[in-house]
Amino acid sequence: MTDDEWNSDYVRSLGARLSGDAITELDNKGKSIVGETLLILFNAHFEPVSFILPAHNKGAIWSMILNTAERSTGTFSSSKELKRGGRPFKTEGRSMAVFSLKEIPPRRVRKSTTGSEPVS
């Protein structure tokens, strides 16, 4: 986001990715602190706004934790809806959504005499 975009008075949406593996502090035993990677999408506009969910690798899957636009409760999501990275997610007007990253490890391929076969 450029300075002009940040300071404009017409921008009404913002997404923030908080990387749980980028924490530089250590715990009291000297071990690295690793938390969940979260994605927070804010839409202050009165109309829906679509965001592209981050896809830093092929296995990026986002699990919805909170969607204030849910009509049933407007609180923590009980559905645990999964969304694939790289795809759009529409936030309703004046709402926010929070996702947690759930990565699916890529399948390894083992060379064999008959070709390549997936390894579980």
Q: For residue 73, give its domain range.
A: 34-78+98-105
Residue 27 lies in a domain: no
| Domains in the chain, number | 1
User: Does the reported pTM lie above 0.85?
Assistant: no
Residue 26 DSSP symbol: B
Alpha helices in 31-117 (DSSP H): none
Q: Tell me, what amino acid is at 96?
A: M
Domain contains 72: yes
In a domain, 71, yes or no: yes
Is residue 85 in a domain? no
Tell me if 69 is assigned to some domain: yes
Residue 56 domain flag: yes
Cα 93 from Cα 53, distance rounded (Å): 18
Q: How far apart are CA 40 and CA 31, in angstroms?
A: 27
Q: List pLDDT tens digits, range 4-55.
A: 887 887 888 999 999 999 999 999 999 999 999 999 999 999 999 999 999 9
For residue 103, which amino acid is it?
A: E
Confidence of residue 90 (pLDDT cuts 50, 70, 90): very high
